[in-house]
Structure 1
Amino acid sequence: MPPAHPLTAWDDPSTRRAWTKLITCAIAGQVIWPVVWVGLLASYVSMSITWTLWLFFIPMLYAFYRTLLQPAYVTWALRTRRLLREYAWQVFETPESGIGRMPDMTAGDVWLSFPHPERSVEMVPVVLRVHIRSAWWRRRLGRGFSTEKTAQAKTVWFAGDPCFAGVIAVPGPRRLYVIHQPPSYGKSMSAALVS
């Protein structure tokens, strides 16, 4: 007898393993980057040689930046889990994508189009905002020509509602990344994903 409810992406053990890797890296970074920053600062203070400041300045600055940035990775990992528990994976072969050229997008924003859940003829673009974690996706989507890198994202898994938010991944799943509609990000997405 078929299940009463369709399976969600979270019901797949490989999805849970991919998410566990994502949250483990986020939490490890939450511990490692502050330790690196404090360690570099302590090394500099103990050496107390003025010219060594230039050796420590850039790594210390980057470690401090990552220390401040890391809580966002944990938050996004938790939002990813919430979406994966709600929606099933859908597989799309070479989904339509592009760079910029859409309202409310900057020149560097990459977008993907997925079918509207209620009107399958209509396509809904969803944005991958410029962010350090989106670099892998941005190098592979929206170029309009085929390369070895674009072939890595030829098949895209999507779990979510393109009118709101979702998680994209390459088959496996790997490279989990949350994408969203620009207007929903500030108000509806945070309210819905935090509740």
Structure 2
Amino acid sequence: MHHLTAWDDPATRRAWAKLVSWAFLGQALWPVAWLGLLAWYVVMSISWTLWFFFVPLLYTFYRAFLQPAYISFAFRARRLLRAYPWQVLEEPESGIGEVPGATAGDVWVRFPDPERPDETLPMILQAHARSMWWRRRLGRGYATEKTAQVRLVWFAGDPRFAVVVAAPGPRRFYVIRQRPTNDQGVAHVRGASPAAVDRARRAGVCLPDPNSPLS
């Protein structure tokens, strides 16, 4: 935890290599699985066993369609890991709804403001497949075996823009981007210092041009 950036930690690089390897392997295997099931579906179309293949066929198609996003996610995470060090969030404050920008079912977690230590910033977890492990453990408001797994959370990034969260190890990488953004998908600068904004840009965060009205 004493490295200049998270990427300088060999354990981080190993965990990321495993993440991206699985992402590329899935990109190769899920389309093959879908085509194989589709071929079997056609061949067996006169059989009553057809219905057993319908759900797996839909699921493999969904995963084949989703897999490029997993690869993109891995490289977004790497840019953040190469720009920021790991920090530890102990017993993170989290909840469901009731913060600006959250709907009734949105899970959020609070991070310390890098330039205002006495303040915290909520970040909302997007509802998609990669967030499920975290959504099942954060925001419950009561202790369970699952919530105990996130009593300590590692994070690398700036919560005004984006962070990578991880279970200690690190493992279970997940990128959370700050909201709200404008209609062009550009993050708000939120009063951050020029150095913080420049660092966020190097980490791949889409920010407005200083001379643009978006800033």
| Pair in the same fold by TM > 0.5 | yes
Deviation at 1:99, TM superposition (A): 1.0
Q: How does 1:1-195 map to 2 (within 5 A)?
A: 7-184=4-181, 186-188=185-187, 193=204
Task: Give, in whole Å, the separation in 1 of the partners of 2:79 and 2:19.
Answer: 14
Task: Give, in whole Å, the separation in 1 of the partners of 2:82 and 2:99.
Answer: 30
Show structure 1 runs of 4+ deviating over 4 A: none
For the structure 1 residues 176 and 66, does the alpha-carbon distance in structure 2 shift closer, same or farther, using more than 3 Å as the test? same
Q: In the alignment, residue 25 of structure 2 is paired with which amino acid?
A: A
Task: Give, in whole Å, the separation in 1 of the partners of 2:55 and 2:138.
Answer: 31
Higher relative contact order (CA 8 A, sep 6+): 1
Alignment partner of 1:86: what SS? Answer: coil
Structure 2 unaligned regions, length at least 5: 189-200, 207-215
Deviation at 1:178, TM superposition (A): 0.3
For the structure 1 residues 193 and 101, does the alpha-carbon distance in structure 2 shift closer, same or farther, using more than 3 Å as the test? same
Deviation at 1:183, TM superposition (A): 2.1
Deviation at 1:50, TM superposition (A): 4.7
Greater percentage in helix: 1
Using the aligned pairs only, state the percent identity. 65
Aligned partner of 2:195 in structure 1 is none
Q: Is the 8 A contact 1:44 1:52 kept in 2?
A: no
Task: Give, in whole Å, the separation in 1 of the partners of 2:14 and 2:181.
Answer: 28
In the superposition, the TM-score normalised over structure 2's length comes to 0.82
Q: Could you list the per-position Cα deviations for residues 148-175 of structure 1 after superposition, in whole angstroms to 9, with x for gaps in the alignment?
A: 1111100000100000000001110011
Alignment partner of 1:187: what SS? Answer: coil
Alignment partner of 1:122: what SS? Answer: strand
Deviation at 1:98, TM superposition (A): 0.8
Q: Is the 8 A contact 1:99 1:108 kept in 2?
A: yes
Task: Give, in whole Å, the separation in 1 of the partners of 2:45 and 2:127.
Answer: 39
Q: Could you list the per-position Cα deviations for residues 65-91 of structure 1 after superposition, in whole angstroms to 9, with x for gaps in the alignment?
A: 111111111101110001000000001
Moved more, 101-110 or 147-156: 101-110
- What count of residue pairs does the alignment treat as equivalent? 190
Q: Is the 8 A contact 2:113 2:160 kept in 1?
A: yes
Q: In the alignment, residue 187 of structure 1 is paired with which amino acid?
A: V
Structure 1 unaligned regions, length at least 5: 1-5
Task: Give, in whole Å, the separation in 1 of the partners of 2:22 and 2:10.
Answer: 18
Q: Is the 8 A contact 1:36 1:63 kept in 2?
A: yes
Alpha-carbon RMSD across the aligned residues, in angstroms, is: 2.1
